[in-house]
Amino acid sequence: MRYVLDSSVAVKWVITEADSATARRLRDEVQQGLHTFLAPDVFPAEVAHALPRAERQGHIGIGDATVQWAAVMTDCPALEPGRRLLPRAIAISSAARIGVYDCLYVALAEREGCELVTADTRLVTNLKPQFPFIVELASL
């Protein structure tokens, strides 16, 4: 199966928190060739943004963000140019009043006809009614 992978799921590969085991299982299944991951090309920057925040919150050690980012990038999804997704992402963002970065993932899943896996409950709450292909990691 092909999935668009939200960065919130990939961060759980290296930070132990709710649903990390499920995120790691999904990654392991990709490594076994059972699934493939796609993401917009903002994915590496979004993971990089989350990891220093995890340092500040004490979830990982100070100075570990770079090492953990490199670990996530080892299994980085195939990246799709966000520029081509922006017109649709902007339209979704305007209608739903949610950030454009999140909407890039939605636009990619919509375009590719596949599910978007996310650990972002706000994204699920706000957009799943209009976009039923959004799947919460906890449900897998």
Tens of pLDDT, residues 118-127: 999 999 999 9
The domain of 45 spans 2-139
Cβ atoms of residues 69 and 51 within 8 Å: yes
Q: Crossing angle for the helix pair 100-112 and 82-96, nearest 10 degrees?
A: 110
d(CA 121, CA 136): 7
Segment 5-16 shows an average pLDDT of 97
d(CA 5, CA 37): 6
List, in sequence order, every residue forming a beta bridge with 34; answer none if it has no partner. Answer: none
Q: What is the pTM of this model?
A: 0.95
Segment 42-51 shows an average pLDDT of 98
CATH number at residue 56: 3.40.50.1010
Per the structure, the count of domains in the chain is: 1
Q: Crossing angle for the helix pair 65-74 and 43-56, nearest 10 degrees?
A: 150
